[in-house]
Amino acid sequence: MSRLRGVYAITDNRLTPETTLLKQVEQALTGGVRILQYRDKQSPAELRQRQASALARLCHDYDALLIINDDVELARSSEADGVHLGQDDQGISHARDALGDQAVIGASCYNRIELAEHARKAGASYVAFGRFFPSQTKPNAIQAELNVLEQAQNLDIPICAIGGITCQNANSIISAGADMIAVVDGIFGQPDIRKAASDLASLF
């Protein structure tokens, strides 16, 4: 899928609180974010539904994709474009059955190429590896090396990289084969969200 390329921003309860979420996301979209993941495991279901639906409308206004973290039912009910699943979340085949053939389904593969192979066979739209650099958001996340991105080229599926990615280190990730760079603090933790997103987008 050609739309699975570029800057992939991820929301965070600490950096994108309810009061400013939509404004911050619109700044990121204006700066060139092509994919947004809504990640909120803490808020009440009613709030998550309201935010996800509003984000879907906003992303679609900017011709960007909205992906929901971990929650297949929320992805369906909010009219998001798909879901991102971790190793312990509901299976890819279940998500595909629930969301349909056109849905974008991503899978976290950490530092393991065999997980990516399994995800591709199960019907994932893209696979994600990381973290590659020290992460503010998930400091204890599993370390991945650049060679896993090179190995993943043989999978013939879009590749996302995550974990401490900034303008200063993103080129090495892109050169190693990442189609998308997923960023949390590097966009939403910056004083000028639009500029941070634009600087990252310019690398593509």
Per residue in 153-200, pLDDT (tens digit) is: 999 999 999 999 999 999 999 999 999 999 999 999 999 999 999 999
Checking if the pLDDT of 95 tops 90, the result is yes
Checking if the pLDDT of 83 tops 70, the result is yes
Q: What is the CATH number of domain 6-201?
A: 3.20.20.70
Three-state SS annotation for the chain:
CCCCCEEEEECCCCCCCCCCHHHHHHHHHHHCCCEEEECCCCCCHHHHHHHHHHHHHHHHHCCCEEEEECCHHHHHHCCCCEEEECCCCCCHHHHHHHHCCCCEEEEEEECCHHHHHHHHHHCCCEEEECCCCCCCCCCCCCCCCCHHHHHHHHHCCCEEEECCCCCCCHHHHHHCCCCEEEECHHHHCCCCHHHHHHHHHCCC
Active site residues: 39, 108, 138
Going by C-beta distance under 8 Å and a sequence separation of 6 or more, which residues neighbour residue 203? Answer: 167, 170, 171, 174, 181
The mean of the pLDDT values for the chain is: 95
CA–CA distance, 55 with 58 (Å, rounded to integer)? 5
Nearest CA among 130, 117, 136, 119 for reference residue 188: 136
Torsion of CA 108, 165, 64, 67, to 10 degrees: 30
Checking if the pLDDT of 88 tops 80, the result is no
